[in-house]
Structure 1
Amino acid sequence: MRDACLRDASIRHCAGMKIREPIPGAPLPVDQPSIKQSIVHHLAHTRMRDQYRASASDVFHAVARAVRDRIADRWLGSTKSQWDDGKKRVYYLSMEYLPGRLLRDAVLNLGIESEVRGALTELGLSYDDVLETEADPGLGNGGLGRLASCFLDSMATLGIAGTGYGIRYDYGMFRQAIVGGAQVEEPDTWLLHGSPWETSRTETTYTVRYEGRVEPRVDPTGRTFYAWVDTQDVIAEAHDIPVPGYRNGVVNTLRLWSPRPVQEFDLALFNAGDHFGSVHKRNVAENISRVLYPNDSGPPGKELRLRQEYFFVSASLQDAVTRHLARWGSLDDLPEKCVFQLNDTHPALAVAEMMRLLMDEHLFTWERAWSITKRAFAYTNHTLMPEALETWPVHMLDRLLPRQLDIIREIDRRLGIEIAQGHDEQAQARMAIIERGPQPNVRMANLSIVGSFSVNGVSALHTQLLRERMFPELDKFFPGKFKNETNGVTPRRWIQQCNPELAKLITEVVGSDAWVTDLEKLRELEKHAGDSAFLERFRAIKRDNKAKLAAFLEKEHGFRCDPSSIFDIQIKRIHEYKRQLLNVLHVIHRYQRIKAGEKPEAPRTVIFGGKAASAYDMAKRIIHLINHVAKTINEDPEAREHLRVFFVPNYRVSYAERLIPAADLSEQISTAGWEASGTGNMKFAMNGAVTIGTLDGANIEIADAVGEDNILIFGMTAEQVIQRVRAGYQPWQLYESDTRLRAVIDGISHGAFSRDEPGRFRPVAQSLLDNDRFLLLGDFASYVETQQRAEQLFRDVPRWTRMSLLNVARMGRFSSDNTIRGYAKDIWGVL
């Protein structure tokens, strides 16, 4: 029996030995002297360093382990109590997580920050310096991974028995370097010095199979079953990271899988002189977890992605089934005892894999297995882009996962029978899991919808568009299945941790830190919206955050900016629909007006950050353009006192924690109808930034919450976008009719920002004139006018400060605690 499934936490089986002492024993004390003693202990006995040879990394590891020791007591206790209570469990399956640095998060959630800080001070060390030593875990990229981490935090804080499942990536997605203004991808060596947070469960392993062939066989009772044979196998090994709740003694688990080969090393080949061949199988296996989202522009990259997705799905389901059987003894009640939440389509193969496990490993009939499967899974959709809905070629699945493809075909066949009545051929084709045609693909979103009892969008508009535009037939065929659960973010990290002075002010107003777990209490701030003295205190916090960011950017990157200028920030994954390019067009327009002698009403510092996927050429061109525009403006003495531009390299969570509290203006400018939700918009508003944005995603709900006077909305609505495209959108006409727009496009095309190579950015400009799929030119005039209004408001200091305060005060509904309560009540049935 696996260690994770032991019934009695006080007796641990180890190679036939039994430990008959209670584990854990008495909890470790959390007073300052005890924490200091633990730090010294780990420096000496874990890192084996004295005061003369301890490096910054040694100190960080010692402090982290001292904190983790105190988490461990609660972790073991939570595991045992959840086992004993028999609570329904939530298994959260996500291809990525973006937790950010973990030390301060753990310290704050345990409530021991003053003790840790004091212990380090006694040792002559700086708590803040230790925090800066930690590397951001390379487990995610953008909003999908950050949302997953917020959700795990909220599940633990709400006392929900939850486990996150994912992959332990060796080199993250990539480390972004900017060379000559262009993005260059380098390995993210986040594990270079190891991670003090993870526990390797070398005894918790599962076999994950690929390729091979499927043979029908008959058991002694005459029942036909299917054997998947001659497979190429990989071993999945568990690595656990604790997820502590906020001061409630609950610690959940993020379990990450790492691959290793069945045969680590072929000694015979090595001795024969084939040194590379002797480790070939190891390299093939370990490639599965090398990087997040490998370049999939060619067949090898696509195949690796498919291997990744199945690897973590198979290991996770095997683990969950093993746990369930050890606790309950039967799989018939699986849907009553646990629920599997699919975070987007990456884990969609879980539907087919669960069917395989139930039928092939546990000998369930199809009907019995399908009844369990479709009641055990829930699916969250995160995109409105048809091309972002994953599909896999049937021929690739047939080669790599033949048994799963057989199961998917049968699900699709049975669905076809059900939908034959009442749907024409076109509707049936849209509803089908497997596309019709000579080279069909499997639609993973359709598989997720059919194989789940619940499907949810992540904002009101997103869910509406899913039902009306993306999957109208499936929505009608499965009445009540589609729901909305608007995204949220954890206030622990996104106010308390990243903006401690604001957190102190909120605590003073509320009278306690109860707002940290009940964010609606931010409403208390609204009572002070007319108090000029209070507004000055609030404004001083923003001013101080901006000064700190300015100092950091100068120290780390040599970029100088005026803290009194508008800090206009857009930080998110680089994608055409997110319209960083629209922001650049406005920056160029402002620059041209300055050069023409028109001085702006307020100086502005425009900051960009985000990574482009390695195979996404246009997104990388946009980064290149941003940096060349920045160079031109920042080196122009006439312009730089009014306008400065900076692209933050290798944007990550720890950078977001500096940028968001300092922002005056939050850029949320996606084409209406394309952003599912967004969470950066929530983080900025919680920290007092005023949003300039379209009526897209969660911007609509933020506008409803903060009030139309406290947000800057521009551009077309989602419905207007559709109407404009249907009517025949003509970007050339806009270019010809708007002299401002023509000057901006011509500047890009004719080399104003690339004098060494005048045609470098012509493809960017031409893409706008030829197609402009995301209607940048259509929204340009409205965007420019709204940016001008933002400047005017910013100069009205009392009004702007009041707008900023009301944004903070009215963001209570966007706590991820509220979101998880919604999932728990409406979908999971665990609260």
Structure 2
Amino acid sequence: MFSNKESFQKVFLKKLEMTYGKSFKESTVQDQYHTLGNMVREYISSDWIATNEAQRSNHSKQVYYLSIEFLLGRLLGQNLLNLGIKEVVEEGLKDLNISLEEIEEIEADAGLGNGGLGRLAACFLDSLASLNLPGHGCGIRYKHGLFDQKIVDGFQVELPEQWLRHGNSWEVRKVDQSIEVNFWGDVEYYSDNGKLAFRHINGESILAVPYDIPVVGYDTTTVNTLRLWNAEPASFPVHKDVMQYKRETEAVSEFLYPDDTHEDGKILRLKQQYFLVSASLQSIVRSHRIVYGTLANLHEKVAIHINDTHPVLAIPELMRILLDEEKLSWDDAWHITTQTISYTNHTTLSEALEKWPIHLFKPLLPRIYMIVEEINQRFCEELWKRYPYQWKRIEDMAIIAHDMVKMAHLAIVGSHKVNGVAKIHTDILKKREMKNFFDFYPQKFINKTNGITHRRWLLKANPELSILLNETIGDEWVKNPYALKQLESYAQDKNFKDQLKKVKQQRKDILSEVIKKQTGIEINPQSIFDVQVKRLHAYKRQLLNVLHIMYLYNRLKEDSNFKIVPRTFIFGAKASPGYYYAKKVIKLINSVADVVNSDPVTSPFLKVVFLENYRVSLAEDVFTAADVSEQISTASKEASGTGNMKFMMNGALTVGTMDGANVEIAEVVGENNMFIFGLSSEEVLHYQQNGGYRSFDYYHHDQRIKKVLEQLTNGFFKNTYDLFEPIYDSLLMQNDEYYVLRDFASYVQAQEKVNQAYGDKDKWFEMSALNIAQSGYFSSDRTISEYAKEIWEINSSKQILSY
């Protein structure tokens, strides 16, 4: 069908007319996009079916990756690239006076994620398929996903995200494979051949309807599946108002991360989590039974991976199935469960380690709570045998304590492997956050440093750089990203560096146009593009960045002899709707932009841009254009980061703390090829354990800090009144939890080094080339190869890469 442009055109025109009942001349770009999307999905179908049948008939062990987020972005361009048909399609459309780029712009970003967690899951799916590994995703088909962000008068305003407004060409609804998920109700005790047994009765059912999306591997016939569950009414309960039941049911798959500041929101979140795992596990078990007729070998043929704590209820849900439906003994069920499930921890922040109040958990999930209670009791008995009379240790490690169910503890106890996502993060888990568990289960803990799919973030996002790489070192890197190391020998080659500089400028010109179109701000494309794009959170320290900009502005205004290389500071971030502090930081960034950009003294040297509604498609333009990558989290707080890898892969230089994967980036590229500053994780830990940090000392002894903090509250920003007082108070009255003021001077020094280094373009692009050359290690192909070998024990039909 896609062998040449003529055959493509013939099929495309016929399908468009048949689908929409109109001539090509009458068709809209929306019609053309959906026609092409449906054609590509149909083109994929035979390989998709063949992949599923081969995996079943070969009795391959399969992995199911359960995640509350899958931040896919647009799929059309990536699928065309992976299938190797992009050129044919592009040429065929061009002859019809259609721009493939314009059609790709029509596709909505599937906003089924918030940031790194969801994008990591999407990258993992790409690598699983591209490495011919039998691995599938399980998530929720949120009607609205994460909110659309608008910036109104500098403030974040949230609007419902409408990615499904025009339908989704990539999904296939499979109502015949729907699953019932039960909530509320009671647990009935009964005798089963003389043994005590349990069943969940009088529950309220929700129908989980699967929508399957093909996951296409690069240059391979492997097509795996992402299954997203949609919540729909099952049989209407007689005891409840029909419309109320319908609303409550549909709410389960309506929004990603509903507001949980009140109990109704907490219940909805917990419902979402159980909905995901129950539907997924029942589906997995059903498929397994069809092939093997028993669940006794489930752990030998199935690996279930839980991405952070959100899907941890997979552990008691699998126990429920094995105990109540399969009638296994507790010991046999527990063995199968723990050998099947593995868990990734993504955080060291205590507020992100989920806990659920018993008074909400128990009535919503009565049978699941009973099982969690039994797991906790047996685990505490084990602890007592090892640590008799050590009540505090047992209390600290218990799954249920102080009227709360601790999900991270359940995840560790019920999994055979627990991994961190960067070396320093895993070390912190072992030595600090999860030390008691590591002492008890040393064999469970393992590190798997995150990765990104280079096919999305380099091959697709940066075609100019990809062409240059192909011309310089060949195209082996596309399938084996480690081959990027060959670029090291060109890092001092003047001709190559001139070409690299030219490519970077092309990408900066593209982003400059995007910024002008979105914001109306004209920026200097020759300036340093200094970029911080990531979720807005206090520990990620966008505040440190903006305080430094305020310092630069003050210095330029006060000292006519002070000169810097023109710099454009670019931000992109969404703040959680209920996270009012983060939303004030967004307002501060925009207020600084208003002052800096309109001042004729400073605007030739400084520009500040806040890009609203940061998302995957926008990120592709941002990462490829950046000169400087801001990775400035408080040391020990960022588990890994993946934005740091995307920037590095596109030749940006990192300004960063020794946190998360920054540590490993420094190991492979050398600290002399990035700009390191700030406290170490050990120093942060020392302050947290022993005290001794007084933010007022830095306020009183550093006039730069004193001035920028006073500007937050002294009327410097017009019409803001006391708006920024909470930021001022957090830094001084609350003693600066994330050590912004402590790291300020060090950060200023690092930025001065950036300014000096950029003056020597020859050296700058040597450093840039070395970053690209070493970025292959941070491909998700490497990460997934390690997971496959060391955690899931699944096999590929081809050799897995070694690093």
- TM-score in terms of structure 1 length: 0.94
CA–CA separation in structure 1 for the residues paired with 2:488 and 2:326: 58
1:94 & 1:732 partners in 2: Cα distance? 42
Question: In the alignment, is the contact (CA less than 8 A) between 2:178 and 2:207 conserved in 1?
Answer: yes
Which residue pairs with 2:255 in the alignment? Answer: 291
2:699 matched to 1:735? yes
Which residue matches 2:109? 136
Q: Which amino acid aligns with 1:225?
A: A
- Give the counterpart of 1:527 among 482, 489, 492: 489
Distance 2:580 2:276 in 1: 29
Residue pair 1:601, 1:795 contacting (<8 A) in 2 also: no
What amino acid is the match of 1:32?
K
- Deviation per CA, 1:424-443: give whole Å up to 9, x if none: 111111111111x3xx1111
Tell whether the 8 Å contact from 2:564 to 2:605 is kept in structure 1 after alignment.
Answer: no
Residue aligning to 2:537: 575
Residue of structure 2 in register with 1:661 after alignment: 624
- Partner residue of 1:540? 502
Q: 1: distance between equivalents of 2:112 and 2:768?
A: 33
The answer to whether the Cα contact below 8 Å between 1:97 and 1:146 also exists between their aligned partners in 2 is yes
2:591 matched to 1:644? Answer: no
Instruction: Determine the C-alpha separation between the residues in 2 that align with 1:451 and 1:222.
Output: 29
Contact 1:489 / 1:682 at 8 angstroms: preserved in 2?
Answer: yes
The correspondence for 2:715, drawn from 751, 763, 769, is: 751
Secondary structure of the residue aligned to 1:249 is: coil
Which residue of 2 is the match for residue 67 of structure 1? Answer: 40
| Rounded Cα–Cα distance in structure 2 between residues aligned with 1:222 and 1:427 | 39
Aligned residue for 2:142?
Answer: 169
- Confirm or deny: 8 A CA contact 1:696 1:718 kept in the other structure: yes
SS of residue paired to 1:811: helix
2:119 maps to amino acid:
R
Match of residue 9 from structure 1:
none
What SS does structure 2 have at the residue aligned with 1:582?
A: helix
Report the more deviating stretch, 314-323 or 557-566: 557-566
Q: Deviations over 1:148-195 (max 9, x none)?
A: 000000000111111100000000110011111111110000000000
Please say if residues 142 and 253 of structure 2, whose CA atoms lie closer than 8 Å, have aligned partners that are also in contact. Answer: yes
Rounded Cα–Cα distance in structure 2 between residues aligned with 1:777 and 1:456: 33
2:669 to 706, 727, 748: 706
After superposition, the C-alpha distances for 1:347-403 in whole angstroms (9 at most, x for unaligned) are: 000100001111112211211111111111000000000110011111111110011
Q: Is the contact between residue 260 and residue 285 of structure 1 (CA under 8 Å) also seen in structure 2? A: yes
Report the Cα distance in structure 2 between the residues aligned to 1:702 and 1:819, rounded to whole angstroms. 15
Cα deviation 1:409-449 (Å, max 9, x = unaligned): 100000111011343111111111111x3xx1111000000
Paired residues of 2:566 and 2:606 also in contact (CA < 8 A): yes
| CA shift for structure 1 position 507 | 1.2
CA contact (8 A) 2:205 2:235 kept: no
Q: Give the alignment partner of residue 95 of structure 1, picking from 62, 68, 92.
A: 68
2:191 equivalent among 207, 213, 218: 218
Matched letter for residue 694 of structure 2: Q
Q: Secondary structure at the match of 2:252?
A: helix
Which of residues 605, 608, 614 is equivalent to 2:568?
Answer: 605
DSSP-derived class of the 1:318 partner: helix
Quick one: distance in 2 between partners of 1:509 and 1:658? 23
Which of 787, 803, 808 is the equivalent residue of 2:772? Answer: 808
- Show the counterpart of 2:233: 261
| Contact 1:578-1:671 at 8 Å conserved across structures | yes
| Superposed CA RMSD | 1.3
1:452 aligns with one of 412, 415, 440: 415
Return the letter of the residue paired with 1:591. Y
In the alignment, structure 2 segments of 5+ residues that lack a partner are 796-803
Q: Which residue of 2 aligns with 1:22?
A: none
**Structure 1 Cα separation of the partners of residues 696 and 2 of structure 2:** 70
Task: Report the equivalent of 1:821.
Answer: 785
Mapping 1:334-413, distance limit 5 Å: 334-413=298-377
Are 1:677 and 2:640 an aligned pair? Answer: yes
Shift of 1:264: 6.7
- Structure-1 separation of matches of 2:236 and 2:373: 35
Q: Is the 8 A contact 2:204 2:237 kept in 1?
A: no
Question: What pairs with 1:459-470 in structure 2 (closer than 5 Å)?
Answer: 459-470=422-433
1:157 equivalenced with 2:121 (yes/no): no
SS of match in other structure, 1:749 = coil
- Matched to 2:44, the amino acid is I
Tell me the distance in 2 between the aligned counterparts of 1:32 and 1:279. 51
- What is the alpha-carbon distance in structure 1 between the residues aligned to residue 51 and residue 571 of structure 2? 41
User: 2:526 aligned with 1:554, yes or no?
Assistant: no
User: Could you report, residue by residue, the CA deviation over 1:597-641 in whole angstroms, capped at 9, with x for unpaired residues?
Assistant: 343320110010111111111111111111111111111111111
The structural deviation recorded for 1:510 is: 2.1
- Is 1:485 matched with 2:417? no
Alignment partners' CA distance in 2, 1:685 and 1:645? 22
| 1:689 matched residue in structure 2 | 652
Letter in 1 for 2:289: L
Q: Which residue of 2 aligns with 1:204?
A: 177
Shift of 1:766: 1.2
TM-score (norm: length of structure 2): 0.97
Q: Which amino acid aligns with 2:55?
A: Q
1:233 corresponds to: 205
Letter in structure 2 aligned against 1:607: I
Tell me the amino acid that sits aligned with residue 762 of structure 1.
Answer: E
Deviation at 1:243, TM superposition (A): 0.3
- From 723, 727, 745, the counterpart of 1:764: 727
Q: Distance in 2 between matches of 1:264 and 1:566?
A: 60
Q: Distance in 2 between matches of 1:146 and 1:352?
A: 27
Distance 1:58 1:186 in 2: 26
- 1:636 maps to amino acid: D
Alignment partner, residue 248 of structure 1: 220
Residue deviations 1:93-126, cap 9 Å, x none? Answer: 0000011100000000001111010110111101
Distance 1:336 1:302, change over 3 A: same
- C-alpha separation in 2, matches of 1:158 and 1:557: 41
Aligned position for 2:798 = none
Distance 1:199 1:264, change over 3 A: farther
Partner residue of 2:756? 792
Equivalent AA in structure 1 for residue 191 of structure 2: V
Letter in 1 for 2:434: F
Aligned length: 790
Q: Which amino acid aligns with 1:774?
A: Y
Q: Does 1:281 align with 2:245?
A: yes
Partner of 1:434: 400
Matching residue of 1:273: none
Instruction: State yes or no: 1:79 paired with 2:64.
Output: no
Select 2:161's aligned residue among 173, 188, 195.
188
> Structure 2: how far apart are the matches of 1:323 and 1:112?
33
2:95 pairs, out of 109, 113, 122, with 122
Q: What SS does the corresponding residue of 1:764 show, helix, strand or coil?
A: helix
Q: Unpaired runs of 5+ in structure 1? A: 1-27, 270-276
Structure 2: which amino acid aligns with 1:488? G
Aligned counterparts of 2:757 and 2:499: Cα–Cα separation in 1: 19
Q: Secondary structure at the match of 1:171?
A: coil
Tell me which amino acid in the other structure corresponds to 1:802.
Answer: E
SS at match of 1:255: strand
Taking every aligned residue pair, what percent have the same amino acid on both sides? 45
**2:26 aligned counterpart, secondary structure:** coil
**In 1, Cα distance between equivalents of 2:686 and 2:244:** 56
TM superposition shift of 1:265:
11
| Kept in 2: contact 1:238–1:258 (CA 8 A) | yes
